[in-house]
Amino acid sequence: MLFPDDILLVDKTREGVEGKLELWRSTLESKGFRLSRSKTEYMECNFSSNRPTEGIVTLGDQVINKSTRFRYLGSIVQSDGEIDGDIISRIQVGWLKWRNASGLLCDRNVPLKLKGKFYKMVVRPAMLYGAECWPLKEKHNTKLSVAEMRMLRWMSGFTLRDKIRNEHIREKVGVAPIEDKIRESRLRWFGHIKRRPSDDPVKRVEVLDLTYIKKGRGRPKKTWLENIRNDLSLLDLNENLTFNRTQWRKRIHIADPT
């Protein structure tokens, strides 16, 4: 192992980040590794327009480059808390998987149902990686739905000029709307969180102190919990049902057309 990558250090203050960086540098060097100062970057998450920036981050005498976004474990994190970059990235990954398999997906001799099964096993999971944690807005749902319908129409050999409704194409291919599958994934993750012990790390977000964050003008940013509340209302679900895993999975499951 010559180069350990994807190391993430988090702290509330600039001084805390610099201290962790120095500790990490000294630890690596004691084990025979070296921290690349030119590739190391920092990102400041400032979710309040009224909060001043923390200034520059240094490692020894060298100033660390500042970034507004970075990729971590396949997802793109932005300093403003938005997910536009991650959505675009997942759509691009989905198209890459689709093009790699276009020889099969565009073959008229292959049954549509078989194409749909391949799409559900290869392409859709690549597009929905990390979707259970997205605070989705309507524009994000639209982008994902448009990308999926372009793939399905291409697979089935239809264009918009044929004037065939999206529902009919989905039924022919056997693929449920991507928005519904995202909701299923999001609620499945929500149920997993609710069933965890109260001292579990994944539940710490429920007790975070956000009183120090000053809200700017305009509508507050859409949150993941707001998506969950809308999902529960839409499906007429109660949070207490999450403790019955079998019933919860049965109620939130979205079946693909057969």
CA nearest neighbour of 248 among 234, 238, 233: 238
**Pick from 113-117, 174-178, 180-184, 214-218: least confident:** 214-218
Give the CA diameter of the chain: 67
Q: Is 124 exposed, middle or buried (0-12, 13-18, 19+ CB in 10 A)?
A: buried
Is the pTM higher than 0.85? The answer reads: no
In the prediction, which pLDDT does 52 show?
Answer: 58
Q: What is the pLDDT of residues 134-188, one digit of tens each?
A: 999 999 999 999 999 999 999 998 888 888 899 999 999 999 999 999 999 999 9
Enumerate the domain spans of the chain.
2-78, 83-177, 182-252
**39-85-221 Cα angle (round to 5):** 115
Q: Is 73 left (phi over 0), alpha (psi -120 to 50) or beta?
A: left
Q: What is the pLDDT of residues 185-207, one digit of tens each?
A: 999 999 999 998 888 887 776 66
Are 85 and 221 in contact by the 8 Å Cβ rule? The answer is no
- DSSP label at residue 215: P
Taking 60 as the threshold, does the pLDDT of residue 128 lie above it?
yes
Are 94 and 131 in contact by the 8 Å Cβ rule? The answer is no
CB pairs under 8 A, 24+ apart, for 85-89? 86/130, 86/134, 87/134, 87/140, 87/143, 87/144, 88/143
Strand 58-59 relative to strand 65-66: parallel, antiparallel, unpaired?
A: unpaired
Q: What is the pLDDT of residues 94-110, one digit of tens each?
A: 999 999 998 899 899 99
Q: How big is the chain, counted in residues? A: 258
